Amino acid sequence: SVTGGDAPAAVSSFEELEFPAAVQSNMQRAGYTKPTALQQYVLPAALLGKNVMVTGAITGRCGRAASYLLPTVARLLSSELPPRDRRQVAPSAIVLSPTRELAQQVFAEARKACYGAGVRPVACFGGAPLVDQLRELERGCELLVATPGRLGDLMERSPNEPVDLSIHEQADRMLDMGFEPQIRKIVLQSEMPPAEERQTLVFSATHPPEMKALALDCGRDYVSLTAGPGAVAGEHVAQRMERVAERDKAS
């Protein structure tokens, strides 16, 4: 179900969305032909700069990373996010991931989305030399994929700049791993724009109270997408999503 935040209508094709030419080329290069059930709802909302919260057991070929990376690159290219000086360590958008392995996977997808678009992604995670990652950031970075612990280390060694768009991948898992203090330090620092002036996208399998509280501190008026177990099924299973009013969710 989809509720809240003045949710835009779902789309059935990529042609309904106004992606920049560079992003369209990368979508074709990646073999994207039709949005998945998840993307049909997340893409239009994210492109409009709305806060989005996706909860539920989303598995299979859901295209989750693309659902937030494609609109992020599009917004960076459309100048809807303030420009930054490439000489500063000042990404406009960050993706927070609980583990090095997931950060590497997301970064691989980010490179596909950014290819030839003039948007430079960088990945920072533990288990790799910190000095090398700092050097990569100093070469310029508009989109940063990072684990909370490593990003916290980087913030202590480099001047902080406000981030206009933050994405929380597997948010509940990050909280389970004890990263809430680091996340709050990253996205709620005094230099950050007010919650109503930035965009937050949250993806989580569960919806614990502490995650809800953190999400509300980061943003308001979320478009909320709730997917039940197996909501993104195999390619031979027909899928249907229905938008319902808040008062009807339990019926």
Q: Which domain holds residue 175?
A: 2-228
pLDDT of residue 207: 86
Determine, yes or no, domain membership for 194: yes
Is 50 part of any domain?
yes
In a domain, 244, yes or no: no
Predicted local distance difference test score (pLDDT) of residue 234: 45
pLDDT at 4: 77
Ranges of residues in the chain whose predicted pLDDT is under 70: 5, 58-61, 79-89, 159-162, 190-191, 228-251
Residue-level pLDDT at 218: 87
Summarize pLDDT for 230-245 with one digit per residue, the tens. Answer: 444 444 445 566 666 6
Residue 63 lies in a domain: yes
User: What total number of domains does the chain contain?
Assistant: 1
- The CATH number of the domain holding residue 204 is 3.40.50.300
Backbone angles phi, psi at 145, to 5 degrees: -110, 125
Q: Is residue 242 part of a domain?
A: no
- Coil/strand/helix, residue 15: helix
